Every structure is written in structure tokens, then in C-alpha cells.
Copies of this chain bind each other. A is one copy, B any other.
């Protein structure tokens, strides 16, 4: 008789860029190979030098392959900048920092897209070449482009984020093209079979909302029998990285920012994970909450957080959580 093998419980993570990639790397290091699927934001994608750039997919690819630059959080370790330097010399734009290794991937992807491959197929090809055991799924195959409404007018995401360094005051977002996006079968299947769904510590507005804007995707998360948990991107009232706290303030949320995250995900969550620095807010949460150290500085700290979050989420599934709060407290 064949030996019995333990069934792998599939975990789905929704992720944006740097924070999402770090937490996903912790999950991957904790779970059995193949158990993790990461659904990645593509609202940040844009056209540059005639190439389609997918910053969040690449940050997740590099992070899960262990070839990322740990200093910057984006791009490749051991990167060189020979093409960028020459492009600048020849009169080209250099505000978006494209390294040589990074560019190799963009060129390949662009060529494969031109040949008719989908972003899902290309991403899967790349993650296999990079020996990544986890599935990485773009949120959809159609272009969705985040447009940022600011006091300086509407800015395409990368103009707001990189060129203008998030300085203009944030008024809101439109995910251009989301109405025409289609739920990819791979995304639907992964959410339907998920045993746990975890929203990574990514920017709720810029990284997670675009994913949820894909028609049908948010409904699958809400309808899932699996527990849904979000990890707060706020630590000590500030963003670990990126403009999320600044954006919240510009929308009038001046304090208790972790609570703002929970309220933003109303109807979606079964549990929430906050940093120990925000412990004072703990009693305000209307749902089961894990309070722990959410700062990830290296692989051991990523793995430790992943283990704690997976155990917490598992406990919600089993109904063994001591916290006394309704599941899907809003909307279900």
C-alpha cells in the first residue's frame, strides 16, 4: 500500500508589493511546498520604455525566489544599472529605476505578452524558472490601472508613487479597467479551495483594493468557508513602509489607524493581526485579534510571524478562538 500522505491545506494570500512579499516569504518558508498561492495586485502595472512593468508581481517573484534586494525592498540583489545609465546618456527618461537584471525579466515578459501568452501563464513560467514552490497569480489578465485622485489632479499610480513620491494630497482612487477585468479560473479555483485566506500587510487602498475590484473576486473571499484574516500594515500608528498612514490622515483618519484598516475591510474579515505597539487599540476591535510582533527584518522573523498568523487563522476555522466576536461581522 502506498503510504498515506497528509493532505496539504491550501493557503491563499492577497499581496501587494514589499510588505506582501515579505509576509508571503514567511508563509512559503513555513508551509509545505505547493501549499501557498499568492494573488498579487497588478493595479501598479504600467508602461515604461515601451515595456509592461508589473512591480508587485516582480517584488513577490524576487522575494519568494530569495533574489530580492533586502535593502530597498524592491528589485534584485546584486543589481547593476548599465542600461539605465546609457539610456539617460542617450536622452531617455530615468525616473523609474530599472536595473539590468530586472530589465531582463521585463523584456522577456513583454516579448511573451506580444506572443499572446497571458500574464498568468508568464508569471507561472517565471516562478518555475526561479524555483519558487508557491503559485503566484496576477489578480487578473486584463490591464487594470490604478489612477490616484489628488489635489494636483489625477495621477497614474507610478507618477504619484515614484515620480511625485506620494507628496500630493490623496483624495481617492479609480481602478481603470477593473469593470472589464475577468476573474481568472486559477484565481477562482484557488479561493474556492482555500483552507485559509490571509490578506498580507499591504496597503489596503493601493495594494488590496485593486485585487478586490476584480469582478467576483471579493465575493469569493466573502463567500469562502475558510477563515479570512488580515495582517495590519500599520505599526505603532505609522506605516512600516509606504504612504498608507499619510493617505489615512488625508482621508480624515487621524488615530487608531489599525482600526481604520479593519473598518476598511468591513464584511471580509474573521480575524485581524496587529502589532504589539498598537496593543492599546486592541479592545476596540470587533473581531478576534492576534497581537504580536509584526515587524519582519529577516527570514526567521518572517517565519515566526507566519507561524503565528497561520495558527491564529487555523484557530478561527476550528472555532477554538477565545475572542468573542462575530465572523463576517459586516455584510454576511
- Identify the A interface with B (CB < 8 A): 49-51, 80, 82-87, 89-92, 100-101, 103-105, 107-108, 110-111, 114, 125-126, 129-130
Contacts and interface: CB of A to CB of B under 8 A. Distances in A.
Nearest to A98: B107
A107 B126 contact: no
Contact of A107 (B49, B101, B108, B125): B49
A36 B235 CA distance: 66
Contacts of A110: 49-50
A90 B104 contact: yes
A108 B80 contact: no
Nearest to A114: B50
Contacts of A101: 82-83, 86
Nearest to A102: B86
Integer count of this chain's copies in the complex: 2
Most chain B CB inside 10 Å of its own CB: which residue of A83, A87, A101, A103? A83
Nearest to A80: B82
B105 A90 contact: yes
Contacts of A83: 82-83, 100-101, 103-104, 107
A125 B91 CA distance: 9
A82 to B, nearest CB: 4
Contacts of A114: 50
A122 B297 CA distance: 47
A50 B90 contact: no
A100 B82 contact: yes
Contacts of A108: 49, 87, 90-92
B86 A105 contact: yes
B104 A86 contact: yes
B86 A100 contact: yes
17 contacts: A49-B107, A50-B51, A50-B107, A50-B111, A50-B114, A82-B82, A82-B100, A83-B83, A83-B101, A83-B104, A83-B107, A84-B104, A86-B101, A87-B108, A90-B104, A90-B105, A100-B100
A200 to B, nearest CB: 25
Given A49-B110, A50-B51, A87-B107, 9 more contacts: A49-B107, A49-B108, A49-B111, A50-B107, A82-B104, A83-B100, A83-B101, A85-B104, A90-B105
A209 B92 CA distance: 34
A91 B83 CA distance: 20
Nearest to A110: B50
A107 B92 contact: yes
A188 B111 CA distance: 36
Contacts of A80: 80, 82, 100
